[in-house]
Amino acid sequence: MRLLYSKPSPYSSKVRMAAHLCDIELDLVPTDTGAEGDQLTGANPIGKIPALILDDGSAIYDSRVICEYLDRRSGNLLIPQASDAWLHAKRIEALADGATEAAMAALYEKRYRPEELWHQPWIDKQWRRAHRALDVLAQEVGSLPERPNLAHFAVASDLGWLGLRFPEIVEEKHPALVAWLGDFFSAHPQYEALAPQA
């Protein structure tokens, strides 16, 4: 199977961590979403990564669906199946991904629009969303089990991206999460190389 991905992408990182846990080997294909190449848009008409091209040539996306697929292929090694544990893992994944989506919206406002068109109230709103989610995550990560699962990978990947793009903001406003991330990689060093990288 081939994974269209990029090293900085938190969602690609989450999938790569999940595949490692599930002992599923993926052929990694570095992909530039800005180019909107035929391989990417043929696999995912939305033009986003990650996209997983299966052995039969069909493709699945986005990261949440890919992780569900990897979990099923592995016999549920990634996502807890008991109702309460499943809900806990999926809620944390949604919080972590949501914080990153909000921060990305703030980043893209400045990256892709001329400065005279920046809308600061929109940027501020996105950061309020991100910080609310991260504040809740800081309370939730202490309840994660020792054995890594999807929730760990979502938090680690999203925090990795936030730390890559906004290190001062994350370190100043969310030091408990920075500490958690350091502890997670210390306990599970095999996943640190799969975190978002520039």
Q: Which pLDDT band, with edges at 50, 70 and 90, does 183 fall under?
A: very high
Last residue of a domain, one of 48, 73, 98: 73
Q: Which pLDDT band, with edges at 50, 70 and 90, does 130 fall under?
A: very high
Q: pLDDT tens-digit profile of 7-52? A: 999 999 999 999 999 999 999 999 999 999 999 999 999 999 999 9
Question: According to the model, what pLDDT value does residue 184 have?
Answer: 98
Of 191, 184, 175, which is closest to residue 146 (Cα–Cα)?
184
> Above pLDDT 70, what percent of the chain?
100
State how far the Cα of 147 lies from the Cα of 184, in Å rounded to an integer.
10
Do 181 and 111 fall into the same domain?
A: yes
Last residue of a domain, one of 34, 49, 73: 73
> Above pLDDT 90, what percent of the chain?
99
Residue 134 included in any domain: yes
- pTM of the full structure: 0.96
Question: According to the model, what pLDDT value does residue 77 have?
Answer: 98
Return the DSSP state at 119: -
Residue 91 included in any domain: yes
Q: pLDDT tens-digit profile of 136-178? A: 999 999 999 999 999 999 999 999 999 999 999 999 999 999 9
Question: According to the model, what pLDDT value does residue 121 have?
Answer: 97
DSSP for 133-172 reads: HHHHHHHHGGGS-SS--HHHHHHHHHHHHHHHH-HHHHHH
Do 95 and 129 fall into the same domain?
A: yes
Domain count for the chain, please give it.
2
Question: According to the model, what pLDDT value does residue 188 have?
Answer: 98
Do 91 and 179 fall into the same domain?
A: yes
Are the beta carbons of 102 and 130 closer than 8 angstroms? yes
CB neighbourhood size of 186 (10 A): 9
